[in-house]
Amino acid sequence: MTKRMLIMLGCILVLVAGLAFGFYLHIQKLIASAPKPGPQTVSTIEIKSLEWRPQLKAVGNLSPVKGVDISSEVSGLVREVLFHSGDMVDKGAALIQLNADAEMAQFKSAEASAELAEVVYQRDKAQFAAQAISQAQLDFDAADLKMKKAQLALQKASLDKKTIRAPFAGKLGITTIVAGQYLNPGDKIVTLQSLNPIYVDFYEPQQKVSLLKLGQSVELNVDAFPDQLHKGKITTLNPKVDPASRNIQIQATFNNPKLELLPGMFANVQVNIGDVQKRLTLPQTAVTFNPYGSTVFVVKDDDKPNAEGKVQQVAQQVFVTTGETRGDQIAILKGLKEGQVVVTSGQLKLKNGTPVVIDNSVTPGNNPNPTPQE
């Protein structure tokens, strides 16, 4: 390479370096002259330590301890309806009386035959003691008496089936049966439900089996009474896991003195699995979940005053470790201290050092047991 070529290459490099330096100075000038972003309006909350009880949540179905659709075992014409829809009845209360004229006549005939057989047996027994009849005759009379008594019991059972009774105490449903209607065996008459106590059946994944035990405290609420919290206990754990869903069925029992909980309702269930603990708590909207971790923005005083000489508040991004959730709330396990002011809405406009203006006229929900809004 000749000396002339080296001189030309050096000139080119000097020219490129000069152009790059000039471009750098231009960029710095543009950055310096660019308007700084103004304060961003956000809502905030002071993080507090609240009582937090570890819970397992599920959706359950209410079912009666006893529930049945009452039907007739025999056919017959309805002579009398002895209840009204919605009645509370005791065990054994008569509900429907079917026409039993034929059964009553057969019962009285069997009753007369049994009484006659009893008289004959007692008379022959006295004659046998006087050695007036043989042992064979007395045995025949005894067997005849037993047969007549068995026929009487059969006729009484047939007669009793003509009166349909409540198999247990409970509340009756709505019926359409009226006097004069003909019933066939198996026809539904009315539903009978025992409502106090009442069961709730729900499922939990197999990974939670070690946390469940009999007698554990359970709470539930239903949409019909969203402000009421009912308390009960686990009374049964299914001895097998469903192979299709890998869930275990659990049954809890609840007192229902006001009969507000009805079979067929669905309920939001919480199983208490530990003692009450203190947890730093925030609304879930305060936490931004990212692939690289969960973050929140903390509001603090800026180290440098603004152009007017006033100390302004700025946002600082902080990584946190989150725990369980309940309703609108989430537990913060690491990264924050009680009393810090945390941004609950408006985070998308923020980065480290962004000035903020706090406006808490509208704030996100922070209810541990929120209810759906109509």
Sign of the torsion formed by the C-alpha atoms of 102, 104, 107 and 108: negative
Sign of the torsion formed by the C-alpha atoms of 264, 266, 271 and 276: negative
Q: Are 363 and 345 in contact (CB under 8 A)?
A: yes
Distance CA 337, CA 282 (A): 12
- For residue 307, name the pLDDT band (cuts at 50, 70, 90): low
- pLDDT of 35 over the 60 cut: no
To the nearest 10°, report the CA torsion of 345, 347, 350, 354. 40
Domains and CATH numbers, the chain: 40-52+277-358 (2.40.420.20), 55-65+193-272 (2.40.30.170), 100-161 (1.10.287.470)
Q: Which is nearest to 265 in space by CA: 220, 222, 218?
A: 222
Mean pLDDT of 230-251: 90
- pLDDT of 61 over the 70 cut: yes
Residue 24 contacts by C-beta under 8 Å, 6 or more apart in sequence? none
Mean pLDDT of 284-293: 87
Predicted pLDDT at 374: 47
Predicted pLDDT at 252: 93
The answer to which of 92-101, 161-170, 254-263, 358-367 has the lowest mean pLDDT is 358-367
- pLDDT of 309 over the 60 cut: no
The identity of residue 49, as a single letter, is S
Predicted pLDDT at 31: 60
Mean pLDDT of 61-84: 88
User: pLDDT of 271-286, one tens digit each?
Assistant: 888 777 788 888 988 8
How wide is the angle at C-alpha 367 spanned by C-alphas 229 and 58, nearest 5°? 50
Q: Report in angstroms the alpha-carbon separations of 58 from 94, 121, 270, 325.
A: 41, 70, 7, 13
Mean pLDDT of 206-233: 87
The size of the chain, in residues, is: 374
Q: Are 62 and 267 in contact (CB under 8 A)?
A: yes
Mean pLDDT of 235-240: 90
Q: Which is nearest to 224 in space by CA: 181, 189, 192, 256?
A: 256
Q: Which is nearest to 256 in space by CA: 227, 216, 220, 223?
A: 220
Q: Quick one: what percent of the chain has pLDDT higher than 90?
A: 7
- pLDDT of 70 over the 80 cut: yes
Name, of 56-65, 135-144, 350-359, 361-370, the range with top average pLDDT. Answer: 56-65
Predicted pLDDT at 30: 63
To the nearest 10°, report the CA torsion of 176, 179, 183, 187. 20
- pLDDT of 42 over the 90 cut: no
Predicted pLDDT at 102: 83
User: pLDDT of 319-361, one tens digit each?
Assistant: 999 888 877 888 888 888 888 889 988 888 888 888 888 888 8
3-state secondary structure the chain: CCHHHHHHHHHHHHHHHHHHHHHHHHHHHHHHHCCCCCCEEEEEEECEEEEECCEEEEEEEEEEEEEEEEECCCCEEEEEECCCCCCEECCCCEEEEECCHHHHHHHHHHHHHHHHHHHHHHHHHHHHHCCCCCHHHHHHHHHHHHHHHHHHHHHHHHHHCCEEECCCCEEECCCCCCCCCEECCCCEEEEEEEEEEEEEEEEEEHHHHHHCCCCCEEEEECCCCCCCCEEEEEEEEEEEECCCCCEEEEEEEECCCCCCCCCCCEEEEEEECCCCEEEEEEEHHHCEEECCEEEEEEEEECCCCCCCCCCCEEEEEEEEEEEEEECCEEEEEECCCCCCEEEEECHHHCCCCCEEEECCCCCCCCCCCCCCCC
Decide which of 174 and 10 is more confident. 174
Mean pLDDT of 212-217: 88
Mean pLDDT of 88-97: 88
Other beta carbons within 10 Å of 81: 17
Other beta carbons within 10 Å of 130: 7
User: pLDDT of 174-212, one tens digit each?
Assistant: 888 888 888 888 888 889 998 888 999 999 998 888 888
Distance CA 350, CA 359 (A): 15
Dig out the tokens for 86 from the structure: 């919605």
The answer to which of 9-13, 109-113, 131-135 has the lowest mean pLDDT is 9-13
What does the longest C-alpha to C-alpha distance in the chain come to? 163
Predicted pLDDT at 233: 92
Q: Are 69 and 263 in contact (CB under 8 A)?
A: no
Dig out the tokens for 225 from the structure: 């009474």
